[in-house]
Amino acid sequence: MGHDVVFLVGDFTGMIGDPSGKSKTRPALTFEQTRKSAETYVEQASKILDKEKTKIVYNSEWLSKMTFEDVIKLAGKYTVARIMERDDFKNRFENNLPLSMHELLYPLMQGYDSVALHADIEIGGTDQTFNLLVGRELQKDYDQEQQVVMTFPLLVGLDGKEKMSKSLDNYIGISEEPFTKLEKSMKIPDDVLRQYFELATDLPIEEIDEIMSGDIREAHFRFAKELLAMYDDVNEFDSLKEKYLNIAKGGIPTDVEEMKVSEDSANICDLLVAAGFATSRGEAKRMVTGNGVKINGEPITDITTMVEVANEPVIQFGKNKFKKVVKG
């Protein structure tokens, strides 16, 4: 529609971390830490946005160059009363919870991004509404045309309660393996599956109504199929579904990744560490005694178990972690 698409990475504001919805002050991050976290953002965004038509910018380009005088002038354009209209700031202040000065600057920093970019439209989640509106007000102060703010509902995570977040481990990652996406899609709580269809697929409401009125398990598979079609361009959905059903029944996949071992036999705990299922022998022992480990589908509970490599056994942890042990 004639707009220039700008994908903004908040590497500088990330040192504060948006305090939105937080009941306590976040620990401060270094600039290097925020840049490292941002490394995969562009890769993920490129699955949706055309790289050739997208301008990628980092707000450290202008925020890191501001002097203390610049910051004072920026802070002078907004009152404490206006900042305290943010619900999370207001609640923390009224309940005598810590509220640091640098957190109060976050909306101004994000708002200044709109000024620096001369943005005419800014898109964000509903949790960003206050910050986006600050951008509108600052643009007015800098004699710019005020941007239009567009917000979208937040997608609830796989726990069905909190918003989807990597830090809460309740997410489906755009860059994750296709089978992982399918497996996680099956874990979406039934009562929020409709929201996933509405917010994360391009299916029309009428078709979503039809899907949700049918078998709920098949609805989960359909969501997974739509997700893979959007981000992975895979055609082997049926084989992935078959693999999932086989594992769900306690079966062993046919395409298990191999792990080479030089010995003729090895202790099960050592194999779990070598396979990457455990980070230490201690953790491996707990996995075995916790009834989470199988060899060729048979439960193993003895930490002294020796595994014969010549038989090319398949070791398994949980429902979906498999490795075939071969001599090499």
Q: pLDDT-based confidence at 288, cuts 50/70/90?
A: very high
Q: Do 127 and 153 contact (CB within 8 A), yes or no?
A: no
Residue 186 CA to residue 180 CA, distance in Å, equals 10
pLDDT value at residue 189: 95
Q: What integer is the mean pLDDT of 115-138? A: 95
- Mean of per-residue pLDDT scores for the chain: 89
pLDDT band at 35 (very low <50, low <70, confident <90, very high): confident
Question: Within the chain, how many helices (H) and strands (E) appear?
Answer: 15, 11
pLDDT value at residue 73 = 93
Residue with tokens 């980070």: 279
Q: Which residues contact 66 (CB under 8 A, 6 or more apart)?
A: 74
- Give Cα 20 distance to the centre of its chain: 17
Provide the pLDDT for residue 165.
87
Per-residue pLDDT, averaged over 50-59, amounts to: 91
Asked whether the CA dihedral 95, 136, 27, 22 is positive or negative, the reply is positive
pLDDT of residue 310: 86
- pLDDT at 28 (0 to 100): 64
- Rounded percentage of the chain residues whose pLDDT exceeds 90: 54
> What digits encode the pLDDT tens for the residues 182-225?
999 999 999 999 999 999 999 999 999 999 999 999 999 999 99
Threshold 0.75, pTM exceeds: no
Residue 232: HSE in the Cβ half-sphere, 13 Å Cα cutoff: 20
Q: Give the torsion sign (CA, 139, 147, 81, 94).
A: negative
Antiparallel, parallel or unpaired: β 121-125 and 54-58 = unpaired
Which tens digits make up the pLDDT trace of 243-270?
888 888 777 877 788 889 888 889 999 9
Quick one: 258-327 is in which CATH superfamily?
RNA-binding S4 domain (3.10.290.10)
User: Over 60: is that where the pLDDT of 20 sits?
Assistant: no
Lowest mean pLDDT segment, chosen from 23-27, 199-203, 253-257, 294-298: 23-27
**Residues whose CB falls within 8 Å of the CB of residue 80, separated by 6 or more in sequence, listed in order:** 104
Question: Mean pLDDT across the stretch 64-73?
Answer: 94
**End-to-end CA separation in angstroms for the chain:** 58
Domain boundaries, the chain: 5-152, 178-248, 258-327
In this structure, which long-range contacts are made by residues 191-198, counting pairs with CB atoms below 8 Å and at least 24 apart in sequence? 191/160, 192/156, 192/160, 193/219, 193/220, 193/223, 195/153, 195/155, 195/156, 196/155, 196/223, 197/223, 197/226
Lowest mean pLDDT among 15-29, 106-120, 234-248: 15-29
Query: In sequence order, which ranges of 95-185 are alpha helices (DSSP H)?
Result: 101-117, 129-141, 178-185
Average pLDDT over residues 281-290: 92
pLDDT at 19: 59
Per CATH, which fold does 5-152 belong to? Rossmann fold (3.40.50)
What is the reported pLDDT for 38?
75
The yes-or-no verdict on residue 21 having pLDDT over 70 is no
Q: Mean per-residue pLDDT for 277-293?
A: 91
Residue 64: Cβ within 10 Å count? 12
